[in-house]
Homo-oligomer: A and B are copies of this chain.
């Protein structure tokens, strides 16, 4: 945790430090990140660094909280069609948020990817039941809910499917952004959200069709639609 001294710093200075740290952690995994490089880029003395943070891990943790905060912001900034989305619309929303995050904050997305690799959270343990769950539990709960709502096929191995969705969420965003291609700069300028772009939506449709056909209890396969 950052020290009180750091938290009392003027916003401007804090941002300069965080910007430098983000740039460093986005290009170097924590193991090979350099404190010297960060303080140099931030324009502060090394002694100051140690008055703000206990160690580089401390700073990295702090940056990770920023990553999570910004990601939440992106998720909440997506337009909500209705109060209670059905299972697959919700999944689409989650994946869309990953893409939006990749576009708006590529550095933060990069940090998230590094973190995913180093923290091999193959499975976590449900604090209540004590059962093992694929991934961090978000998709596990999501799929369980989906089964209760008769959206997800009962034969699906929820544990494994949850893990699969997690690695898809974590890995496919950079690819989709590259596919979207030329449009990306417009998104970053903030004038246009990927959610409004037709090409992006077509890609998402296809991705969701594959996932839905694979997971759904009564899949709405688009074969006919596409073959027309």
Contact = CB atoms under 8 A, between A and B. Distances in A.
A186 interface: no
Interface residues of A, number: 49
A31 interface: yes
Contacts of A222: 155
A44 interface: no
A14 interface: no
Interface stretch (A17-25, A78-86, A167-175): A167-175
A94 interface: no
Contact of A210 (B28, B170, B214): B214
Contact of A154 (B167, B211, B226): B226
Interface in A87-133: 113-114, 117, 120, 122-123
Contact of A113 (B117, B163, B175, B219): B117
Q: Which of A161, A175, A179, A226 lies at the interface centre, i.e. has the most chain B CB atoms within 10 A of its CB?
A: A175
A33 to B, nearest CB: 9
Given A203-B160, A207-B164, A120 B174 contact: yes
A220 interface: no
Interface string A165-191: 001101110111011000000000000
Nearest to A228: B155
Interface in A210-228: 210-215, 217, 219, 221-223, 225-227
A61 to B, nearest CB: 19
B155 A122 contact: no
B163 A175 contact: yes
Contacts of A170: 171
